[in-house]
Structure 1
Amino acid sequence: MLRIFVIVIIANAAMAQVPFLGTCPNLEAMQNFELERYLGKWYEVERYFAWFEFGGKCVTANYSLNENASVKILNKQISSLTGVATSIEGIARLIGRSDDPKLTVTFPSLPLPFDAPYWVLDTDYISYAVVWSCTNLGVLNVRNVWILTREPKPSVAVVEKAYQIIDKNNISRAYFIRTDQKNCPVTN
């Protein structure tokens, strides 16, 4: 019975992200991260598949500082299937030093909230960010990568900056899905 439970947990986790054999690769995150400059609204440009974003368009993430030095996350999207707008609130916490770009993220409203890694591999704070998440699950790991930008329709040059970081870290571009940011409501 325990074996079946473990298999179900692994299968559910694998649905959340792209599964790979082996352990998570050791990637190089950026140096001298400035959380305050990272705060604000970001638009999702591309990502690996994640079931919680299935059919999502107009995806945004807004980060703001809580009084306890944690980060409030507000993720929004519109279903391209139904047109219904949804949002979810989460909390991010720095894992180490205040200039370390490695955070852990929790969404308390989920039925089984858990801490997920959220590493900022690189950002210039004003145009793009590349975010990495990887969790080891025994003989496999599950990964997700996001390209975020400050504009819903970034220039090719901005996206190329993000691709340079992805290529530098040997992250496969084959699994990327472009996020539809067309005909989205204008919000702050």
Structure 2
Amino acid sequence: MSPSRSFLLNNKCNLIKLTDRHTHTVSTMKTLCVWTISLTLVISVSSQVFHWGPCPTPMVQPNFDLNRYLGKWYEIEKLPATYEKGTCIETNYSLRPDKTIKVIYVRTRKGKVRTAEGTAVIQNQREAAKLGVSFSYFTPYSPYWVLSTDYDSVALLYSCTDVLRLFHVDYAWILSRTRSLPPETVYHAKEVFSREHIDISRMVPTDQHGCEGGA
């Protein structure tokens, strides 16, 4: 669901609370609002990966070194995401003067190169591998956890969000410093996710062939 749609739904519910003076009607309308938002969320994540219950809490990269992680990463495989359709997907991370992380996301969609700029921050200095990422001033930071990386060749990322305390939507990525990884490396990467009880059965490869900068 787009940030604007979520914002409007929540504002409608708030408007009902402010303008309706009849308790029973307010209660009924609030219930309808909750169900409307719930249904919209379910529809919006129909092509995502979602599961009942709360998010898992996987271990993250110990002693995460942000400076070594910065630079360009190519997407090798991922759990499906509606906002990540396309080929030749890559992300470049650099440090801004204010110590936030500039995130440049590039993909090719329908023959056109599309670019988006976001911001990442370290949300907990005690666990520096737990970052937050946002691509809009109107949306909060989404979890962006580095589960494992050797900094030079591969990185495993995970993001999970609880929805209404009923289910969670999660994303996972295998990234590489090059546009391809040996099959055995991908296999071992998936084993890491599985050990952390993350379901990667729907993980799909990202097409990195015929891209600018080499295959």
Same fold (TM over 0.5): yes
Residues 1:94 and 2:125 are matched in the alignment = no
Highest relative contact order (Cα 8 Å, sep 6+), 1 or 2? 1
* C-alpha distance in structure 2 between counterparts of 1:15 and 1:68, whole Å: 38
Indicate if the aligned counterparts of 1:39 and 1:62 stay in contact, CA closer than 8 A: yes
* C-alpha distance in structure 1 between counterparts of 2:42 and 2:194, whole Å: 28
Residues 1:74 and 2:104 are matched in the alignment = yes
Task: Quickly say closer, same or farther: Cα 1:156–1:94, change in 2 above 3 A.
Answer: same
1:36 alignment partner in structure 2: 67
- Aligned CA-pair RMSD: 1.9
Matches for 1:32-71 after TM superposition, within 5 Å: 32-54=63-85, 56-71=86-101
Structure with greater helix percent: 2
Structure 2 alignment gaps of length 5 or more: 1-31
Residues 1:120 and 2:178 are matched in the alignment = no
TM-score, normalization: structure 2? Answer: 0.78
Q: How far off is 1:98 after superposition?
A: 6.6
Moved more, 57-66 or 169-178: 169-178
State the structure with more CA Rg: 2
Give the partner amino acid of 2:200: R
Residues 1:166 and 2:190 are matched in the alignment = no
Give the partner amino acid of 1:66: R
From 161, 168, 172, the counterpart of 1:145: 172
* C-alpha distance in structure 1 between counterparts of 2:54 and 2:127, whole Å: 26
4+ aligned runs moved over 4 Å, structure 1? none
- Residue by residue over 1:95-129, the C-alpha shift from the partner in whole angstroms, topping out at 9 and shown as x without a partner, is 111762000111026xx523210000000000000
Q: How far off is 1:4 after superposition?
A: 4.1
Give the partner amino acid of 1:57: T
Indicate if the aligned counterparts of 1:127 and 1:158 stay in contact, CA closer than 8 A: no
From 88, 109, 112, the counterpart of 1:84: 112
The count of aligned residue pairs is 182
